[in-house]
């Protein structure tokens, strides 16, 4: 969830599910339960977001009983804001992909083929590592005692993205070998 | 468990000779789970064939449990295939006129295992792949995913130390492919079966503990970083 526009809304959403009130620690636990691997907020971040949401009037502190923890619940305004958010169109633009590798490919020379292939392989391995983590996460969710519907969808999406990257990197490696490898006739200019 | 020592395998000769495996060395320890990726024609299937003794290396040696496969007697080689190595292929190769349980029991029948023993081991293998309820069904009445599970049960019924899986998800849709992979991971984790998987699918390859990349018959060299804990090892090793 880090760096995502949805972070505040995710925290607001968790608070909204607890009409009797919820404290920061429980927000984190519930968030992890709901989103697993994709919920990457630490306590500091959660408390900052809760403060912010409270300052904006989207949540309010309720009189805690014996606990010294701050307990929050969503306000009508917060609920409207959350509903608006849930139903509003996505704001994510396609991310500018592969720029870094493109620049390297453009300006590396043909005699750097082994190094280029290593760069490509390293990037591919990073995605394989990501897939390994996602696979472990999926298996964990299978055993989870709650409905991890959304997490499964998130994992599906992340897997598809990683597959696409790996397929493309494989294509890059093949084409680099064809162009610059032993026996290649291609010119070294890009 | 499985050791490749500078193995080269050449098919054909002269101008048409193709090096399917080129000076390949690696060691798979007991209980490991490796996957092998690479473009078509990179030699992935040949790597498996050499382990099962289905073909012999042109040079070098393939050792399974410390013994050189190519130097085994016919009887020893047959024993290796019938009792130590389970093979799972993309094509399920089930006999259509036999039921699921009869298909699963076939390797035992061929090996002359007593019927009482077969009656004990077949249900256990079907149970492992969660196909007990389909034991009496013929392959044509089973879905692709179910057929592959039966084929896996057939590979497991010999209680193999090693499972070689060559594109086992190749004919399956996503959900069934995932189920087969979950099964392999489970076998590796719970029964410590050593698994070598050939796959084109990065999602499935990454479920192994280590991913090797084969290019033109040899391991692609990448920066080595040995995996620890949950990490996946993706480096090729060349000695």
Q: What is the CA radius of gyration of chain B?
A: 18
| Residue that is written with structure tokens 């993309």 in the block | B90
What domain range is A13 assigned to? 7-87
Give the end of a domain, one of A66, A87, A108.
A87
B232 touches chain A (CB under 8 A): yes
Of residues B110 and A106, the one with the higher pLDDT is B110
Q: What is the pLDDT of residue B227?
A: 43
Name the pTM for this structure.
Answer: 0.77
- Of A43, A58, A87, the residue at which a domain comes to its end is A87
Buried b (16+ CB within 10 A) or exposed e, B102-111: bbbbbbbeee
The CATH code of the domain that includes B207 is 3.40.50.300
Give B164's contacts (C-beta < 8 A, 6+ positions apart).
B48, B51, B52, B85, B86, B87, B88, B195, B196
- Amino acid A160: pLDDT: 92
Q: Give the mutation candidate from B211, B232, B235 for the A interface (greatest A CB count, under 10 A).
A: B232
Asked, for residue A11, whether it belongs to a domain, the answer is yes
Instruction: Decide: helix, strand or coil at residue B35.
Output: strand
Q: Say yes or no: A46 and A26 in one domain.
A: yes
User: Are B185 and A111 a contacting pair, CB within 8 Å?
Assistant: no
A117 and B CB contact within 8 Å: yes
| Lowest mean pLDDT segment, chosen from A160-164, B152-156, B208-212, B230-234 | B230-234
pLDDT at residue number B195: 96
Q: What is the spatial distance between Cα B98 and Cα B103, in angstroms, rounded to a whole number?
A: 6
Q: Which residue of A has its CA nearest to B224?
A: A122
Would you state the pLDDT for residue A183?
Answer: 60
Residue ending a domain, choose from A63, A87, A111: A87
B64-73 pLDDT, tens digit each: 999 999 998 8
Look at residue B222 and tell me whether its pLDDT is greater than 80: no
> Do A132 and B203 lie within an 8 Å CB cutoff?
no
What is the least distance, in Å, from the CA of B90 to any CA of chain A?
21
Average pLDDT over chain A reads 81
Contacts of A121 in chain B (CB under 8 A): 213, 220, 222-223
B184: domain range?
A: 30-45+79-219
Is B216 part of the contact surface with chain A (CB cutoff 8 Å)? no
* pLDDT above 90: residue B234: no
Q: Are A81 and A123 in the same domain?
A: no
Helices (H), B35-167: 44-52, 74-79, 100-110, 115-128, 144-156
Residue A2 lies in a domain: no
Percent of chain B with pLDDT over 90: 61
**Are both A63 and A32 inside the same structural domain?**
yes
Does residue A187 carry a pLDDT above 50?
no
Please count the structural domains in chain B. 1
Instruction: Establish if A171 belongs to a structural domain.
Output: yes
Kindly state whether residue A185 falls inside one of the protein's structural domains.
no
- Same-domain status, A82 and A11: yes
Identify the pLDDT of residue A2: 40
For chain A, the domain total comes to 2
pLDDT at B85: 92
Nearest to A163 among B39, B203, B232 (CB): B203
Q: Quick check: A128 and B222 CB within 8 A? A: no
pLDDT digit string (tens) for B94-146? 999 999 999 999 999 988 999 999 999 999 999 989 999 999 999 999 999 99
Which CATH number characterizes residue A83's domain?
1.10.10.10
């Amino acid at each position: 969830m880090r760096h995502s526009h949805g972070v505040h809304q995710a925290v607001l959403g968790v608070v909204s599910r607890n009409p009797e009130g919820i404290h920061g620690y429980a927000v984190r636990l519930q968030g992890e339960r709901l989103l697993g691997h994709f919920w990457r907020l630490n306590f500091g971040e959660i408390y900052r977001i809760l403060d912010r949401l409270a300052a904006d009037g989207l949540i309010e502190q309720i009189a805690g009983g014996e606990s010294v923890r701050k307990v929050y619940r969503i306000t009508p305004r917060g609920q409207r804001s959350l509903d608006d958010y849930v139903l509003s169109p996505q704001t994510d633009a396609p991310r500018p992909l592969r720029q870094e590798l493109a620049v390297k490919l453009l300006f590396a020379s043909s005699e750097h083929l082994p190094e280029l292939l290593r760069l490509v392989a390293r990037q591919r391995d990073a995605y394989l590592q990501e897939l390994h983590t996602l696979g472990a996460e999926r298996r964990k969710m299978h055993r989870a005692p709650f409905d991890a519907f959304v997490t499964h969808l998130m994992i599906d999406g992340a897997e598809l993205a990683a597959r696409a990257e790996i397929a493309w990197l494989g294509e890059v490696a093949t084409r680099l070998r064809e162009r610059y490898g032993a026996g290649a006739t291609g010119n070294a200019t890009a | 468990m499985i050791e490749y020592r500078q193995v080269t395998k050449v098919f054909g000769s002269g101008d048409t000779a193709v090096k399917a495996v080129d000076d390949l060395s690696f060691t798979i320890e007991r209980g490991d789970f490796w996957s092998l990726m690479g473009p078509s024609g990179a030699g992935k299937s040949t790597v498996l064939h050499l382990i099962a003794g289905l073909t012999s290396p042109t040079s070098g040696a393939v050792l399974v449990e410390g013994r050189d496969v190519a130097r085994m007697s016919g009887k020893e080689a047959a024993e290796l295939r019938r009792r130590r190595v389970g093979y799972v292929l993309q094509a399920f190769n089930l006999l259509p006129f036999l039921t699921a349980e009869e298909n699963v029991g076939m390797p035992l029948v061929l090996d002359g295992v007593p019927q009482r023993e077969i009656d004990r081991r077949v249900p256990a293998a079907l149970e492992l792949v969660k196909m007990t309820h389909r034991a009496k069904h013929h392959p044509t009445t089973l879905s692709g995913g179910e057929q592959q599970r039966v084929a896996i049960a057939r590979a497991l019924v010999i209680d193999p130390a090693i499972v070689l899986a060559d594109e086992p998800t190749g004919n399956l849709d996503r959900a069934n492919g995932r189920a087969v992979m979950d099964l392999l991971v489970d076998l590796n984790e719970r029964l410590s079966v050593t698994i070598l998987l050939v796959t084109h699918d990065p999602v499935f390859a990454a479920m192994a503990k280590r991913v090797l990349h084969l290019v033109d018959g040899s391991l692609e060299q990448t920066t080595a970083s040995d995996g620890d804990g949950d990490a996946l090892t993706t480096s090729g090793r060349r000695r």
